[in-house]
Structure 1
Amino acid sequence: MRRLIVLRPEPGNAKTCAAIRAAGGEAIALPLFEVRPIDWLAPDPAGSDALVLTSANAVRHAGPQIERFAHLPVVAVGAVTARTAEAAGMSVAAVGEGDAGDLPPLLARIGSLAPLHLTGREHRDLGAGCAIAVYASEAIEGVDAAPLVGATALVHSARAGERLAQIVDVAGLDRAGIAIAAISPAALAAAGEGWAAAVLAPVPRDDPLIAAALSIDRPVAGGDKTA
């Protein structure tokens, strides 16, 4: 069975590695980013009617200021984000299982006209409400690319796809000796072409991504399979 290389930052990296091992696979942690809080100024809570959370990192790194918005209904993307918000004492009104593209209909469902989106420094513009960055994913320098050879890399974001391609190319490695499994079409596209295999998770969640990665056989030199 191929080794699976987990590129996402902690604490998600450890969780994905544990899930891979529970499924009988071999997991190697190789995070490309480190998530850190950044300074932010909380606006007047009276100006917002819902709190949008597209990552659990917003709850983890927003600091005590997030408590000012604990009374607002939360619209979360992903079950992990929803559970993290609930554990922090918030009330989750709606949960999307895809990506940020799910948010407009969810906000419409709860009648939100002025949502506050607490998010990362690099984020997708929702085109509604106010977005404030409360954390940043900083690139880790000096990543050793050697473990990627003959393995499958799990790509959890477009930024990870771009960084993976950069690290592999700078190290002079042959993409045809490395396979990738991506959580979304954007993540797959960002990684570029030329990989031994390139598969897409059927839905943008961790377990389907792991299953897709485990489905990849030994790489075929010079091949490029997509699914």
Structure 2
Amino acid sequence: MSRAVAVLRPEPGNAATAARIEAAGLTAIRMPLFAVRAVDWALPDPARFDALILTSANAPRFAGPGLDALANLPVFAVGPATAAAARARGLTIAETGDGDGAELVATLTERGFTRALLLGGRERRVHAGGVVAETITVYASDPLPITPQVADALAGTVALLHSARAAQRLAEIAGSTRASIRLAAISDPVAAAAGPGWADIAAAPVPDDAALIALARRLAD
């Protein structure tokens, strides 16, 4: 019997990932660890920048109407989901990365950009400096309360990790169930953030939902 797969990412991504898991014939446990909300931000002069960096799909989802004024900037997105969310807001994708934010910044540097604007979350890992002229917080991910009884439902599951924050939060709440949980992480750095002591842990070959779910299917057997 296959293990259930615990989806820990915030909504609306949680429901979308859970639906894909169920379509693959597995049982999904929907347990978002964070709730995403928009943060008020001031629009800078678009003329100051030569590119827009988006390291999460939540940035275009929650940026609000101010994002429209940046539509002329070429967008560098960290992955397919972020690129899709940006296109849905009318932005033009210059490149979609297959790594993390640091690799995306390196790509901009190689291509000669020097004044990029990054829109991201409150706990972002990429900050101003070098090719990134300015970073602006447009959303925040707030922890949701998880009781020990709810955390016990993770025992014997495959837990999906879409971010380092989720990995760290899971490590905090897993308690005695840690040794029974297998982890499917979206990247090697996310896997490392979970720490040791799990039943198994592996990282997807590319940082997207399809690869992560394929990995979860393997770990669930």
Q: Same fold (TM over 0.5)?
A: yes
Structure 2 contact 154–177 (Cα < 8 Å) conserved: no
Q: Provide the residue aligned with 2:210 in structure 1.
A: 207
Structure 1 contact 201–209 (Cα < 8 Å) conserved: yes
Cα distance in 1 between the residues matched to 2:151 and 2:56 = 27
Task: After TM superposition, give the deviation of residue 110 of structure 1 in Å.
Answer: 4.6
% identical aligned pairs: 51
Q: Provide the residue aligned with 1:27 in structure 2.
A: 28
Q: Provide the residue aligned with 1:48 in structure 2.
A: 49
Q: Provide the residue aligned with 1:39 in structure 2.
A: 40
Q: Which amino acid aligns with 1:160?
A: A
Cα distance in 1 between the residues matched to 2:192 and 2:217 = 20
SS of residue paired to 1:43: coil
Q: Please, which of 154, 177, 190 is the counterpart of residue 187 of structure 1?
A: 190
SS of residue paired to 1:181: strand
Deviations, residues 82-108 of structure 1 (Å, cap 9, x unaligned): 122112111111111221122134313
SS of residue paired to 1:216: helix
Task: After TM superposition, give the deviation of residue 217 of structure 1 in Å.
Answer: 5.1
Q: Provide the residue aligned with 2:13 in structure 1.
A: 12
Distance verdict in 2 for CA 1:187–1:105, change over 3 Å: closer
SS of residue paired to 1:215: helix
Taking structure 1 as the reference length, the TM-score comes to: 0.89
Matched, 1:159 2:153: no
Distance verdict in 2 for CA 1:217–1:36, change over 3 Å: closer
Structure 1 contact 6–153 (Cα < 8 Å) conserved: yes
Structure 1 contact 183–201 (Cα < 8 Å) conserved: yes
Structure 1 contact 94–106 (Cα < 8 Å) conserved: no
SS of residue paired to 1:116: strand
Aligned length: 215
Q: Provide the residue aligned with 1:139 in structure 2.
A: 143
Taking structure 2 as the reference length, the TM-score comes to: 0.92
Task: After TM superposition, give the deviation of residue 53 of structure 1 in Å.
Answer: 0.9
SS of residue paired to 2:41: coil
Matches within 5 A, 1:211-222: 211-216=214-219
Task: After TM superposition, give the deviation of residue 23 of structure 1 in Å.
Answer: 1.4
SS of residue paired to 1:134: strand
Q: Which 5+ residue runs of structure 2 have no aligned equivalent?
A: none
Task: After TM superposition, give the deviation of residue 2 of structure 1 in Å.
Answer: 0.5
Cα distance in 2 between the residues matched to 1:87 and 1:125 = 24
Cα distance in 2 between the residues matched to 1:104 and 1:57 = 18
Cα distance in 2 between the residues matched to 1:50 and 1:133 = 17
SS of residue paired to 2:14: helix
After the TM superposition, which of the residue ranges 205-214 and 153-162 deviates more from structure 2? 205-214
SS of residue paired to 2:219: coil
Cα distance in 1 between the residues matched to 2:9 and 2:48 = 34
